[in-house]
Amino acid sequence: MIITVVNQKGGVGKTTTSVNLAYLLAQRSNVALIDLDPEGGSTVSFGIRRDKKELKLGEKSVNIFNIEFFPAHVGLLNLELSGDVEAVAQGLKEIAKGFDVTVIDTPPNLGTLAVAAMIAGDRILTPITPHPLAIQVTKNLGERLASLGKVAYAVTNMSNKPVNLNVGGIKSLEIAIPQSKLFIEASRLGVPTLRLEEFKTKRPKLGAVFENVAKVIIG
């Protein structure tokens, strides 16, 4: 199964959602995480430097926190500029064949890489925040998804209350991921927030929220 995490709006928590969902699922399944963002959000969050070599899609990976992680590299820029959506989508599907679940962290746009990931995705998850601009941008994303015959599950980030945004191509989950200082601390340490939470408390609240997300997405 391929889970694509997408939203063309930056700052809504795509990388945080991708990394922590992959970490959670990797505790019980063979999981890959692909950083498809040329800027390398997930790569940086793990404290890994973006590879300056031009690599092929899926050519290099590293196992970290039981996740087979495919870091960002400069070759992604050429793939973005190529416009060859179908070839990239097929490449992602080939990588995913070796895993139970593959999570894809996409760039904050609707270019070649993001659209290819949406086409390849069996499930699509879009993080949103309760801000007017983020909501409007997500509505626009819904239109693009509908044109592809796809539907994304919307999960609200940085809030205690979920945003109700059931429009074409978007189905809102009754799930909200609250703000927490743990996200900032985990980013500084280069670890998934859920892993840090496991060391901090015996009752992981964020872990429970991501479990709910996983139940809806995976079934």
The structural domains of the chain, with segments of one domain joined by +, span: 2-218
Distance, CA of 160 to CA of 147 (rounded, Å): 31
- Hey, what CATH class is 2-218 in? alpha beta
Other beta carbons within 10 Å of 182: 17
pLDDT at res. 54: 80
For residue 148, what pLDDT is reported? 93
Q: Give the separation between CA 191 and CA 184, rounded to whole angstroms.
A: 10
Instruction: Compute the distance between CA of residue 181 and CA of residue 132 in angstroms, rounded to an integer.
Output: 24
pLDDT confidence band for 67 (50 / 70 / 90): very high
pLDDT in tens, 147-176: 999 999 999 999 999 999 878 899 999 999
Are 193 and 180 a contacting pair, CB within 8 Å? yes
> The pTM is what?
0.96
Report residue 54 as tokens.
């031009």
pLDDT band for 87, please (50, 70, 90 cuts). Answer: very high
**192 by DSSP, 3-state: which?**
coil
Determine the 3-state secondary structure of 7 from DSSP.
Answer: coil
Predicted confidence at residue 16, as pLDDT, reads 96
